[in-house]
Amino acid sequence: MRVHPRALTAEPRTFLTTREKAALVLAANGKTNAAIARALGLGEETVKSRMQVIRRKLRAQDRTQAVAVALALGVLSLEDIVVPVGANRGYRDSV
């Protein structure tokens, strides 16, 4: 078991390692495990394991809930999420 300094474990639910947060940011931006693996230079199985650890720490059922919980707890911010250009283009036009 890894021991973390007391300051980091005051709220264990919000402590993610730098690599875990990087994987979660990519997941928040819609990347697949394979894409996250390529971006971080990891194997896909490593990413799957890392996402399980993240979900367990955040007490989330799936990666979508993990992102929502991370946003609610302040682990992620809205600035971490990139909205593609033209994401809503044509939405209002069809109504």
The one-letter amino acid code at 16 reads L
SS3 per-residue string spanning the chain: CCCCCHHHHCCHHHCCCHHHHHHHHHHHCCCCHHHHHHHHCCCHHHHHHHHHHHHHHHCCCCHHHHHHHHHHHCCCCHHHCCCCCCCCCCCHHHC
* Euclidean distance between CA atoms 66 and 84, whole angstroms: 21
Confidence at 31, pLDDT banded by 50, 70, 90: very high
The one-letter amino acid code at 28 reads A
Confidence at 15, pLDDT banded by 50, 70, 90: confident
CATH architecture observed for domain 6-80? Orthogonal Bundle (1.10)
Q: What average pLDDT does the segment 37-66 reach?
A: 95
Structure tokens at 18: 């730098």
Per-domain residue ranges for the chain? Answer: 6-80
Confidence at 89, pLDDT banded by 50, 70, 90: confident
